[in-house]
Structure 1
Amino acid sequence: MKRHSVATHRVTVSGLIDKPQSFGMADLAHFPQTVLDRDFQCVTGWRVPDVRWAGVALPDLLDAVGVSSDARAVRFTSFDGVYTESLTLEQARRRDVLVATQMDGKPVTHDHGGPTRLYVAPMYGYKSLKWLGGIELTDRVKPGYWEELGYDVDAWVGRSNGRSDAPT
Structure 2
Amino acid sequence: MSNHSSGHSPGRPPGDAAGDEHLPRTARDLPKDPPRKRARKGAEDPAQDPELGRGSPVGRRLVLGMLGLGAAGVAVGGSMQDRIDSVLASVSAKDPTGVTGLLPGGGGFRFYSVSESIPHRGEDDYRLTIGGLVDRPVSYRLADLRALPQVHLVRDVQCVTGWRVPRTAFSGVRLSTLLDAAGVKSSGTALHFTCFDGVYTESLTLEQARRGDMLVALTMDGKPVTAAHGGPVRLYAAPMYFYKSAKWLSGITVTKDVQPGYWEHYGYDVDGWVGKSNGRHDDPTS
- In which range does the TM-score fall when normalised by the shorter chain? over 0.9
| Aligned match of 1:4 | 121
Task: Select 2:229's aligned residue among 109, 112, 123.
Answer: 112
User: CA 1:100–1:165 in 2, change beyond 3 Å: closer, same or farther?
Assistant: closer
Q: Is structure 2 residue 200 aligned with structure 1 residue 80?
A: no
State the TM-score, normalized to the length of structure 2: 0.57
| Aligned match of 2:159 | 42
| Aligned match of 1:30 | 147
Distance between the aligned counterparts of 1:78 and 1:29, measured in 2?
A: 19
Q: Is structure 2 residue 253 aligned with structure 1 residue 136?
A: yes
Given residue 135 of structure 1, which amino acid in structure 2 is its aligned partner? I
Task: Select 2:215's aligned residue among 75, 98, 110.
Answer: 98
| Aligned match of 1:55 | 172
Distance between the aligned counterparts of 1:25 and 1:132, measured in 2?
A: 12
Is the helix fraction higher in 1 or 2? 2
Given residue 54 of structure 1, which amino acid in structure 2 is its aligned partner? S
Task: Select 1:126's aligned residue among 243, 257, 264.
Answer: 243
Distance between the aligned counterparts of 1:24 and 1:165, measured in 2?
A: 37
Following superposition of structure 1 onto structure 2, how do residues 128-167 of structure 1 map, counting pairs within 5 Å? Answer: 128-164=245-281
Q: Specify the SS of the correspondent of 2:181.
A: helix
* Cα contact 2:119–2:227 (8 A) shared by 1: no
Q: Specify the SS of the correspondent of 1:136.
A: strand
Cα distance, 1:164 vs structure 2: 4.1
More displaced stretch, 104-113 vs 3-12:
3-12
Distance between the aligned counterparts of 1:81 and 1:67, measured in 2?
A: 25
Deviations 1:45-68 (A, max 9, x none): 001111110000100010011111
Alpha-carbon RMSD across the aligned residues, in angstroms, is 1.2
Distance between the aligned counterparts of 1:165 and 1:22, measured in 2?
A: 37
Percentage identity across paired residues of the two chains: 62
Deviations 1:70-126 (A, max 9, x none): 000000000132000000000000010000000001000000000000000000000
* Cα contact 2:218–2:233 (8 A) shared by 1: yes
Cα distance, 1:6 vs structure 2: 3.0
Distance between the aligned counterparts of 2:222 and 2:238, measured in 1?
A: 17
Q: Specify the SS of the correspondent of 2:122.
A: coil
User: CA 1:166–1:54 in 2, change beyond 3 Å: closer, same or farther?
Assistant: closer
Is the strand fraction higher in 1 or 2? 1
Count of aligned pairs between the two proteins? 167
Structure 2: gaps (5+ residues):
1-117
Cα distance, 1:163 vs structure 2: 2.0
Distance between the aligned counterparts of 1:80 and 1:128, measured in 2?
A: 14
Distance between the aligned counterparts of 2:225 and 2:273, measured in 1?
A: 23
State the TM-score, normalized to the length of structure 1: 0.96
